[in-house]
Amino acid sequence: MAAHVAERVETGRIDLVRFLYADHGGIIRGKSVAGPRVAERLHTGIGHTVAMMAMTMLDTLQPVEGMGPVGEVRILADPSTFTPLPYAPGAAVMLSDLVQPDGRPWAACPRTFLKQAVAELADVGYSVLAAFEPEFTLGRRTPTDQGPDRLVPIDDSLCYSATGFHAAHDFAVELLHALEAQGMRVEHYHPELGHGQQEMSIRPAPPLRAADNHVLYRETVRAVAMRQGLWASLAPKPIAGQAGNGCHLHLSLWSGDRNVFHDPAGAYGLSNEGRWFIGGLLAHLPALTALTSGTVNGFRRLVPRSWASAYACYGSDNREAAVRICSPMRDAAEESTNLELKPSDSSANPYLSLGAVIRAGLDGIRCKTEPGAAVDVDPDTLPEADRPPRLPSSLGEALDALEADDLLMTALGPLRGAAYLAVKRADVEAFAGRDADYECFHHFTKF
């Protein structure tokens, strides 16, 4: 495989190959290697300080035992993910694991966390197909007379309006071509509710590929915008007064070529396993939100009556429920039966997010956790006594729930769990008392 990558580097005239990973803050980071040295570095990896997994989204290093100035890991690229970058001539990318110098897995590697979740599924005869469904805001980064830069949307068009298509056409076409050149199959595109808000979704894939795809997607959206003199942000709330950017997570569970979630005789066409999977998600949902919507800015989006989900409930095509049972396609009911997790956004580390969701759902199946009755109305319209439990209203609340969740903390492990909590609690402190302009600026410029 290394020889094949080296050949592609040479024939494709690749000067630099980026080895990328996602950190605990949800930031995509990495290093690059000169093209002629890529085969060597596929064997040794690139040296990297352990401290980077204790770095916040504001680049402040947190005191985490085992992640200080002493210690080394290697950024070890997965050669199966090699792809030239259509938006960066002369560059290519590979998604990477963080490993110990002797090549053994490192206990704080996010990609390994997802691999382990996939292995747990395989041990009981299951596999997953997953897709991240990102929204993002397209605009221009604009200085202000006072305060930080702000993001000015490219248009003020209406949801799904033809005007929105016109305003972003050149960008959308270039983005589509760039995604497909990297092996992602685009399925849908439309202008969304917020001013300048876009959604371009890609086909489902096995979990590791789905998370890798989302890293590539995030980088591609931002890079294509920059090449056109624009700025794109996948932050949950880049503009405080506009609709938030979700990244709904779609999942289906498979055993061989059979969709385990599908049962035409079950309520909403869902099997027992599908119902129990929902039960597991709801049982762990307060803790999950610390991983699926893991920024201060993310909880600005998770408010009632915003179609983002604010309550721990499920329903059939209920877009105010945290878990939506999606209506299957008429001519492909089994293939298209899937669940959608709505309290999810692109500021999350996709490997940690998806790995935690898989473990929560699998726990529900193992324990046969019943999710209770489906909610078929906006839960916020119910009498207060009848409403489902409210999701955490802040990152701090979600981190408290995560720290108290034995299943997820055990899965994260001592090093990763301690580092994640430290990094995120530092973010809570850093944004406390700051205004919305400061918060939105630091999120729209980084996600």
**Left (φ > 0), alpha (ψ -120 to 50) or beta: where does 45 sit?**
left
Q: Are residues 309 and 398 in the same domain?
A: yes
- Residue 416 is assigned to a structural domain of this protein: yes
Distance of alpha carbon 377 from alpha carbon 387, whole angstroms: 11
pLDDT above 70 coverage of the chain, percent: 100
Burial 355-371, CB ≥16 within 10 A → b, else e: bbbbbbbbbbbeeebeb
- Residue 229 is assigned to a structural domain of this protein: yes
Domain count, the chain: 2
* CATH code for the domain in which residue 28 is found: 3.10.20.70
Report which of 166, 165, 164 is spatially closest to residue 156, judged by C-alpha positions.
Answer: 164
Q: Backbone phi, then psi, for 88, in 5-degree steps?
A: -140, 80
CB 401 within 8 A of CB 290: yes
Q: Are residues 75 and 201 in the same domain?
A: no
Tokens 């035992």 belong to: 65
Whether pLDDT at 85 is above 90: yes
Q: Are residues 81 and 122 in the same domain?
A: no
pLDDT tens string 118-177: 999 999 999 999 999 999 999 999 999 888 999 999 999 999 999 999 999 999 999 999
Mean pLDDT of 214-219: 98
Tell me the torsion sign for CA atoms 210, 214, 220, 221.
positive
Whether pLDDT at 11 is above 90: yes
Q: Which range marks the domain in which residue 339 is found?
A: 117-444
End position of a domain, from candidates 52, 72, 106: 106
Q: Are residues 61 and 129 in the same domain?
A: no
Q: Are residues 16 and 161 in the same domain?
A: no
Question: Which pTM value belongs to this model?
Answer: 0.96
Whether pLDDT at 2 is above 90: no
- Residue 432 is assigned to a structural domain of this protein: yes
Distance of alpha carbon 394 from alpha carbon 320, whole angstroms: 18
Per-residue pLDDT at 158: 95
- Residue 111 is assigned to a structural domain of this protein: no
Per-residue pLDDT at 248: 97
Q: Are residues 161 and 82 in the same domain?
A: no
pLDDT tens string 359-391: 999 999 999 999 999 999 999 999 999 999 999
Q: Are residues 246 and 123 in the same domain?
A: yes
pLDDT tier at 226, thresholds 50, 70, 90: very high
Distance of alpha carbon 296 from alpha carbon 278, whole angstroms: 26
- Residue 158 is assigned to a structural domain of this protein: yes
Q: Are residues 210 and 322 in the same domain?
A: yes
Q: Are residues 390 and 430 in the same domain?
A: yes
Q: Are residues 323 and 263 in the same domain?
A: yes
Q: Are residues 47 and 138 in the same domain?
A: no
Contact residues for 227 (Cβ-Cβ < 8 A; gap 6+): 87, 174
Q: Are residues 146 and 92 in the same domain?
A: no
